[in-house]
Amino acid sequence: MGNRADNQCMETKYSLHWGLDLNCTLDPSTLKISNLAIKPPSISPGDKHTQEIRLKRVLSLSDLIIYGIILIQPVAALPLFGHANSISRGHAVTSILLAMTAMIFTAISYGRMANRYPVAGSAYTYVGKALHPIVGFVAGWSMFMDYLFIPILCIIFSSIAANHMFPYIPVAAWTLVFSIGFSLLNLNGIRVAAGTNRILIIFMGVVVFYFMGAAARFILIKKGMGGLFSTTPFYNPESFSVQALGSATALAALTYIGFDGISTLSEEARNPKRNIMLAAVITCLVTGIWSGAQVYLAQLSWPDWASFTSGLESEAARSNALDTAIMSVANRVGGNFLDASLSIVLLLGSIGSGITGQLGASRLLYGMGRDGVIPRRIFGHLDRKHASPSYNILFVGVLACTGAFLLNYQECARLINFGAFLAFMGVNISALSEYFIRSEKRTAGGFIRYVVPSLLGFLFCLAIWLNLPVKTFIIGGIWMGFGIIYLAIRTKGFRQKMAMIDFST
C-alpha cells in the first residue's frame, strides 16, 4: 500500500469483528469508514481482526471525575455508617480517612500505568504489560469479578429500595427493570452515559447537602457552635482499639471501590496520560473528604453508637438496625421528609453505580477480547453506530440479572472486595516494576517517588484483602480457578505465548 502515490486510492474489503464485509476506501495513511477516520493499528497487515472502528476520545477530566464519583457513589459511606461505627467503636470517620489514604496510593499507581499504557483494559493491561500476560489475565479476571458484582449489587439494592417505596411491584419485577434499563442506557454510547451521570450527581448532591445542613442545624440547637467541632469522632480514648479500627477500615474501603473504573476509559479520554491519574486521585480525595464529612456530622448527631443495637437479641435484628442506622439519624435531624429523601438518593446512587459498573466491565472485556485472550469476534466487537462494545454490555447485563436473582447484598459486597483488592495489589506491583525495577536509572529520589507509594498501596491492599471472611476466599477462589482453567486451555497448558496488542495512539 505504501508504494502507491499519495493521491491514489484502492478499493479493499475489510472484515469487521461482527462478521460483515464493507467496501472501504484506503489510502496509504488513513482508513475511512463512512465519516470516521482511523489510523491503522500497529499489527500485521494480514490480521483479519484489524480494528476499523475505534473508541472515541470524547471524555474530559470533569467527565472522568464525575464517572468515578458516580461509580463509587457520593453516598457510598452512608449505608455503611451503622456497621463501620459499630465495628470501630465510634471511629467510623477515622476508618474512612485511613481507607482513603490506601486508595490514593493505589490511584497513583493506576494513573502512572495509564500514563504508560493509555488503552482500555485497566488492571489486565497494566499487569500484563509490566509483569507477564498470564499474570495480567489473572488480574483482569479478578477485576472483572469486581466490575461484574458492582452492577449485581446495585440491581439487588435498587430492587429492594424500589419495592420498599412501591410494594405492589415485586422485587423480581424490579430486578428485570433495572437490569434492562442499565443495559439500554449503556448501549446508547459513552456520551449518553456521561450525561446521565451528571443528572444523577446533581440530585444526590442536593439531598446530601440537605442532610448535612439538617445535621449541622440539629447539633447547633443541641450543643451550640462548639458542638460542631469535636475530636471524638476521630479519636475517643474510652473506646479506641487498633484491632477494631483495622477491621472497620477493611469495611470502609468499600466506600472507594470503583475508582479504578476510570482507567478503563483511557481510550475514550482526552489527554489520558495526564487526566487518568488526576481523575483517579481527585476522585479518591473528594470521596474521602465528602464521605468523612457526612459521617462526622452523623456521628455528632447520634454519638451513642452502641444504642443502635441495644436491647436487640437476634443477629438478624442487630444487622437490620445497623443497615438502617443512617436513616435513623436522618429521621432524628430532619424528620420523615429527610428520611424519605435520603432513601431516594441512595436508590439513585445505586442506579448510577450500576450503570457505570456495567460500563467498566464491558470495557475491560473489550480490552481482553481485542487481544484475543477471550473470543475476539464477540468481546472485541464495537457497535458501528455508537462505537461501544455492545455485545459485552449485553453479556454483562445478562450475568448481572442472573446474579441478582441468585445472590444477596452481603455476599456481593465481599466478593467485590476480593476481586478488587487482588487486582489493586497487582497494579501497585506493576507500577513499581515499570517505573523503578525496569528503569535504567535508579536514584534515591526515584525510590521515594515510585517505590514508596506503590509499596504502601500494595501493603494497605494486602492487609484489607487478608481480613476478608473464609467463605469469600472459597467463592473467589472458585472464580479464579475457572479463569485459570480457561487460560490453561487457551494457551495449551501455558505453553502457547499470549500476545498483548498495543493499540495506543
Q: Where are the alpha helices (DSSP H) in 88-189?
A: 92-116, 123-130, 133-165, 171-187
Q: Mark whether 18 and 83 lie in a shared domain.
A: no
DSSP state of 306: G
The rounded distance, in Å, linking the Cα atoms of 139 and 457 is: 16
**397, pLDDT greater than 50:** yes
Query: pLDDT digit string (tens) for 278-305?
Result: 888 999 999 999 899 999 999 999 988 8
Final residue of a structural domain among 34, 54, 74? 54
CATH number at residue 266: 1.20.1740.10
Strand (E) or helix (H) holding 21: strand 21-26
On whether residue 435 sits in a domain, the answer given is yes
Average pLDDT on 366-393 reads 77
pLDDT band (50, 70, 90) for residue 454:
very high
Q: Give the per-residue pLDDT at 234.
A: 92
**76, pLDDT greater than 90:** no
Q: Mark whether 142 and 184 lie in a shared domain.
A: yes
Mean of per-residue pLDDT scores for the chain = 77
pLDDT band (50, 70, 90) for residue 41:
very low
Q: Mark whether 25 and 41 lie in a shared domain.
A: yes
CA angle 371, 478, 472 (to 5 degrees): 115
Exposed e or buried b per residue across 376-401, where buried means at least 16 C-beta atoms within 10 angstroms of its C-beta: beebbbbbbebbbbbbbbebbbebbb
Place of cell 508504494: 3
On whether residue 502 sits in a domain, the answer given is no
Q: Which residue has the higher pLDDT, 467 or 225?
A: 225
Q: Give the per-residue pLDDT at 131.
A: 87
Average pLDDT on 241-252 reads 83
On whether residue 373 sits in a domain, the answer given is yes
Q: Mark whether 147 and 162 lie in a shared domain.
A: yes
The rounded distance, in Å, linking the Cα atoms of 145 and 449 is: 31
**240, pLDDT greater than 80:** yes
Burial of 361 (0-12, 13-18, 19+ CB in 10 A): buried
Q: Give the per-residue pLDDT at 220.
A: 93
Distances (CA, A) of 55 to 58, 79, 263, 296: 9, 35, 14, 42
Average pLDDT on 446-473 reads 87
Least trusted range by pLDDT, from 194-208, 317-331, 408-422, 483-497: 194-208
Average pLDDT on 185-211 reads 73
SS3 assignment, position 54: coil
Q: Which residue has the higher pLDDT, 35 or 91?
A: 91
Q: Mark whether 249 and 362 lie in a shared domain.
A: yes
Q: Which residue has the higher pLDDT, 27 or 82?
A: 82
- 307-316 CB contacts, 8 Å cutoff, 24+ apart: 308/82, 308/85, 308/86, 309/86
Final residue of a structural domain among 35, 54, 73? 54
Q: Mark whether 400 and 258 lie in a shared domain.
A: yes
DSSP state of 29: S
**101, pLDDT greater than 90:** no
Structural domains in the chain (count) = 2
Q: Give the per-residue pLDDT at 456.
A: 92
pLDDT band (50, 70, 90) for residue 171:
confident
- What phi and psi, each to the nearest 5 degrees, are found at residue 131? -110, -70
For residue 10, the cross-strand partners are 26
On whether residue 497 sits in a domain, the answer given is no
Residue 109: closest CA among 368, 378, 433, 484? 433
Q: Mark whether 8 and 114 lie in a shared domain.
A: no
pLDDT band (50, 70, 90) for residue 459:
very high
Cell numbers for 271, please give them: 489527554
On whether residue 495 sits in a domain, the answer given is no
- Name the pairing type of β-strands 31-33 and 21-26: antiparallel
Residues 83/251, Cβ–Cβ less than 8 Å:
yes
**Highest mean pLDDT, choosing among 13-27, 314-328, 449-463:** 449-463
On whether residue 133 sits in a domain, the answer given is yes
Least trusted range by pLDDT, from 9-23, 47-61, 484-498: 9-23
Query: pLDDT digit string (tens) for 479-505?
Result: 899 888 888 887 777 777 665 544 333
Q: Mark whether 47 and 70 lie in a shared domain.
A: no
- 419-422 CB contacts, 8 Å cutoff, 24+ apart: 419/142, 419/143, 419/144, 419/145, 419/146, 419/149, 419/476, 419/479, 420/142, 420/143, 420/146, 420/257, 420/260, 421/253, 421/461, 421/462, 421/464, 421/465, 422/139, 422/142, 422/465, 422/476
Residues 151/412, Cβ–Cβ less than 8 Å:
no
On whether residue 94 sits in a domain, the answer given is yes
Q: Which residue has the higher pLDDT, 363 or 447?
A: 447
Q: Give the per-residue pLDDT at 123.
A: 78
- What phi and psi, each to the nearest 5 degrees, are found at residue 121? 130, -25
Q: Mark whether 176 and 320 lie in a shared domain.
A: yes
Q: Mark whether 319 and 399 lie in a shared domain.
A: yes
Q: Give the per-residue pLDDT at 6.
A: 38
Residue 461: closest CA among 320, 180, 230, 260? 260
Distances (CA, A) of 35 to 13, 26, 53, 215, 384: 17, 13, 11, 54, 11
Final residue of a structural domain among 54, 71, 86? 54
Amino acid at residue number 198: R
Q: Mark whether 84 and 230 lie in a shared domain.
A: yes
On whether residue 504 sits in a domain, the answer given is no
> Residue 33's domain spans which residues?
1-54
Q: Give the per-residue pLDDT at 27.
A: 42
Residues 432/269, Cβ–Cβ less than 8 Å:
no
The rounded distance, in Å, linking the Cα atoms of 186 and 388 is: 8
Average pLDDT on 42-65 reads 60
Residues 499/368, Cβ–Cβ less than 8 Å:
no
Entry field: residues in the chain: 505
Q: Which residue has the higher pLDDT, 450 or 43?
A: 450
Q: Mark whether 116 and 47 lie in a shared domain.
A: no
Q: Give the per-residue pLDDT at 429.
A: 94
**477, pLDDT greater than 50:** yes
The rounded distance, in Å, linking the Cα atoms of 480 and 474 is: 10
